[in-house]
Structure 1
Amino acid sequence: MLPMRASEIAAAVGGTLHGDDVSVTGSVETDSRLVTAGGAFFAMPGEETDGHRFIDAAVAAGAALVVAERPVEQDVPHVLVPAGVEALGSLAAEVIRRVRAAGELTVVGVTGSNGKTTTKNMLQAILEQHGPTVTPVKSFNNEVGAPMTMLRIDASTRYLVLEMGASVEGDIERLTAMSHPDVGVVLKVGLAHAGEFGGIETTARAKTEMVRDLDEAGIAVLNRDDERVRGMAAATRARVVWYGTDAGPADEPTRLWADGIDSTLEGTVATIHRAADGAARSWPLRMRILGEHHVMNALAALTVADALGLPLEPAVEALATMERAERGRMELLEPGGGITVINDAYNASPDSTAAALRALAHMTRQAGRRSIAVLGEMAELGPHAVEEHDRLGRQAVRLRIDRLVVVGTGAKAIHDAAELESSFGQETSFVETAAEAEALLRSELVAGDVVLFKSSNVSGLQALAERIGGL
């Protein structure tokens, strides 16, 4: 973070300073275990514990300032605020304002039901070639995680990439107001978190908030292949730049598009086309990342680079160097014995699970290998849960996945639907726990098998994938 005095922080967050007006030169943390000398500790109530209980630990670690919601007994300068989360966001907004005023900061916001973290990582690989770049750790994209990412910038930062997630309408609006993105990217509108939103149309409205609030000098990078994302063009004052899988109409062409898309167990290929400014160019894209659906994420990242005036050839080359999308996202593991594991169990939605199953079916059919899908619950689907799990069970059969293992009561509808769709039940098994799934897999796996693990993180299948994958 930019160095700031305690009084400046108090003014930025609308709080009251108690104690000396110290200089804060370290990072801002909400976890006392991460506090370093000269930093600030935000003591906030959480779902499982209360940050106020860890002020002693933060002070011992060298915190110069504490921001708290109630009086602090420890002998440390502190700022009292009505709400810690709101104060964190206010401080993040002030830091971005100061860095913008002093340098050449460009802020890129990324939202969508699927693909945010992969696209963020792709943007990091591209943008860091051109200047210091800050991106979220893991998938920090909510009312706490996004401001924490913003607070990591300093005067040298050239690019800030933010994931913008939402649990309810208004979440992305608040993150946009804090960061004022120069470029807003929308990837896809799907049923992820539909249980919280109440339906896909509400999800679409929430994802529209970022491009709606871009100013006239901004750039909205939109997925032309997604009907609901296409509709967002009418909601923004910003300049719209399209990406997709066709060239689009002559009067409003797609900035970058891809064809020749294919994916094998060695990676994913496509041809990227650009015809803007009357100069047609094409580039071969070769990624180690598995799955044809990741070409859309690559197109989004490359379109941002192109819209910012950055050269495309080194951007395409940067994507070729990426080892994986992210840990637990279509991550290829080779434990030996001729078995291949695809760990995609960090998170799951109906769209991402369907894409992963299609990728598994396509890649194994090409390679002549047996496909095994280990599927757990897709969380936060609310009233859509049974229907969407049922649909995926039927899809697994129609894709001719050779073996299906369904883990956990929340996912049982996948197994039930697959049994009904299939002509014989040996192709699908249901187990209650990851431990049972592990025992089953270790008794059945043979050389040549390709095993996909896909679920929401709460199912615990990521750890199982890593054990089977030899990590």
Structure 2
Amino acid sequence: MSHWAWDEFAEIAGGSWAIEPTGPALDFVGVSIDTRSLQPGQVFFAFVGEQCDGHAFLPAAQKHRAAACVVTHPDRVPEGFTLPTLVVKDPQDALTRLASAWRDRIRAKVIVITGSNGKTTTCRLMHGVCSAAGTSFVSPKSFNNALGVPITLLNTPIDADTLVAEVGMSTPGEIGARTGLLRPDISIITSIGRAHLQALGSVDQIAREKAQIIVAAPSEAVGVIPSGIELLDAALAEDGHLVRRVPMELDLLTNDARGNRFSIQGQVFEVPIPGAHNAYNAALCVLAGRVLGYDDETIRTGLARATPPAMRFERVQIETAGDPIVIINDAYNANPDSMRAALATFVSFDAPARRVVVLGEMLEMGDSGPAEHQSLAEHAAGLPTLDRLVLLGAGFASVRCDDDRVEIIPDSSDAGIASVAKSLKSGDTVLIKGSRGVRMERLIDKLSQLHANGRSETKNETRSHA
């Protein structure tokens, strides 16, 4: 907890008090924009959106013991409301200004992570490493945008040893702005791939934008990146930061459903998350941990403790009248490269009966969308161990694939999801993956309804093959 003078808080936020606070200072413990998750002592920001007006939840904020509220419309503050209430013109700007000031107060070393694939998983791996060495705070879920990054900063305890923050983008300039706010000590780039092509136009532009997490960092910051990405190397060619690189040919010792063992610079590490790509993500964390001064044993301990985020190769078991249907839920998001990585990992798993893949369309692909969906369909259909491939959504509507195992369903509505659910059989092992907007996890809900007499069990895939 840290004391923040009320007057200073208001001045930084650019606001004025509609309801004056009592006492000289705020015992600051963080911020919230959602009363469902608001913790006692946090400051509640009442955002006005298209679907929801945060002012309607001011009574809930008081009930949950918020320390104060920040609003834009003082006339919407209910009668009898007693919490200190600050009025600002732009709550997003107020959050950002406060986050910048809080960054100056915290003592934490800041590690920021971006990439076309693997950002959130790498955050969890890095958080595991940092937690083995001290107290660490990590971005909740995927709080990586213009709103999530300031919230992450403001909720970082003042005495935390490290902050691991995810940084995302959807348009040019965002990475640099968020890096300027976070002012990192270490900047990690996991990968450069074909995501956000609609906004950025080319993989070259994506590499240049991602590189800003190093270029825009303080001069003493250290970059950690994979080797062998020519576009990224070109984007960093004139930058003066020290950069550590994971070898392009990582020595992968084992790779199965339980995770990976790999060797880097003569030392062996294990990560309890399947997929060869996650060995590379873990190797980035090894180098970053060494930059922080951690010994290899501490890093090993941290990687072993790491838990993946939700909807990243989660194993969900749907009980049926016969053998269970096993869903490998990798539905959080997708682009052409992450789709291929998921397929490569999935086909390495044992399947007692049919091996089925259900892929949702990839959004934000721009003009390259039709070609990328066709290429992905051909790649997936070329995997000989798949028994069935379902391609769901409008992005696959123009795909041509002469293979009896392939079914194209252009409708990704609930009706389309229901038709897929009805076609799955007892004993199937099913990979589901698609862009976040497609919400492929709806298939799990539909299957659970269809087999309501059974019950579903969710586990991380790494824990289900003990």
TM-score normalised by the chain length of structure 2: 0.86
| Structure 2 Cα separation of the partners of residues 212 and 139 of structure 1 | 23
Note the C-alpha offset of 1:452. 0.6
Note the C-alpha offset of 1:28. 1.1
Note the C-alpha offset of 1:239. 1.3
| More helix by percentage | 1
Which residue in 2 is equivalent to 1:331? 314
Would the alpha carbon gap of residues 467 and 309 (structure 1) be closer, same or farther in structure 2, given more than 3 Å must change? farther
Note the C-alpha offset of 1:342. 1.1
| Structure 1 Cα separation of the partners of residues 347 and 423 of structure 2 | 22
Does residue 406 of structure 1 match 2:391? yes
* 1:279-290 pair list within 5 angstroms: 281-283=266-268, 285-290=269-274
TM-score normalised by the chain length of structure 1: 0.85
Please tell me whether the aligned partners of residues 397 and 408 of structure 2 are also in contact (alpha carbons under 8 angstroms).
Answer: no
Which residue in 2 is equivalent to 1:48? 51
Which residue in 1 is equivalent to 2:191? 188
Which residue in 2 is equivalent to 1:385? 369
Does residue 305 of structure 1 match 2:289? yes
| Structure 1 Cα separation of the partners of residues 104 and 214 of structure 2 | 20
Please tell me whether the aligned partners of residues 273 and 282 of structure 1 are also in contact (alpha carbons under 8 angstroms).
Answer: yes
Which segment drifts farther, 137-146 or 288-297?
A: 288-297
SS across alignment from 1:118: helix
| Structure 2 Cα separation of the partners of residues 383 and 313 of structure 1 | 48
Would the alpha carbon gap of residues 410 and 37 (structure 1) be closer, same or farther in structure 2, given more than 3 Å must change? same
| Structure 2 Cα separation of the partners of residues 38 and 408 of structure 1 | 44
Note the C-alpha offset of 1:135. 0.4
| Structure 2 Cα separation of the partners of residues 361 and 194 of structure 1 | 28
Aligned residues: 438
The residue type paired with residue 26 of structure 2 is V
Deviation per residue, 1:363-414 (Å, 9 max, x gap): 35xx68642110112122222222211111010112223210122333334x
Which residue in 2 is equivalent to 1:236? 239
* 1:134-153 pair list within 5 angstroms: 134-153=137-156
Would the alpha carbon gap of residues 48 and 460 (structure 1) be closer, same or farther in structure 2, given more than 3 Å must change? same
Q: Which blocks of at least 5 consecutive residues in structure 2 are unaligned?
A: 449-455, 458-466
Which residue in 2 is equivalent to 1:263? 255
SS across alignment from 1:149: helix
SS across alignment from 2:294: coil
Question: What fraction of aligned residue pairs are identical, expressed as a percent?
Answer: 29
Which residue in 1 is equivalent to 2:26? 24
Note the C-alpha offset of 1:436. 4.6
Note the C-alpha offset of 1:116. 0.5
Which residue in 2 is equivalent to 1:5? 5
Q: 1:160 aligns with which of 160, 163, 170?
A: 163
| Structure 1 Cα separation of the partners of residues 156 and 295 of structure 2 | 24
The residue type paired with residue 354 of structure 1 is R
Superposition RMSD in Å: 2.5
Which segment drifts farther, 384-393 or 115-124?
A: 384-393
Please tell me whether the aligned partners of residues 375 and 411 of structure 1 are also in contact (alpha carbons under 8 angstroms).
Answer: no
Q: More relative contact order in 1 or in 2 (CA 8 Å, sep 6+)? A: 2
Would the alpha carbon gap of residues 434 and 200 (structure 1) be closer, same or farther in structure 2, given more than 3 Å must change? same
Note the C-alpha offset of 1:15. 2.5
Note the C-alpha offset of 1:261. 5.2
Which residue in 1 is equivalent to 2:337? 351
Would the alpha carbon gap of residues 28 and 463 (structure 1) be closer, same or farther in structure 2, given more than 3 Å must change? same
Would the alpha carbon gap of residues 468 and 298 (structure 1) be closer, same or farther in structure 2, given more than 3 Å must change? farther
Q: Which blocks of at least 5 consecutive residues in structure 1 are unaligned?
A: 247-257, 275-280
Deviation per residue, 1:423-459 (Å, 9 max, x gap): xx34434363455545545544243x43110111222
Would the alpha carbon gap of residues 36 and 426 (structure 1) be closer, same or farther in structure 2, given more than 3 Å must change? closer
SS across alignment from 1:59: helix
Note the C-alpha offset of 1:95. 1.1
Q: 2:358 aligns with which of 349, 369, 374?
A: 374
The residue type paired with residue 24 of structure 1 is L
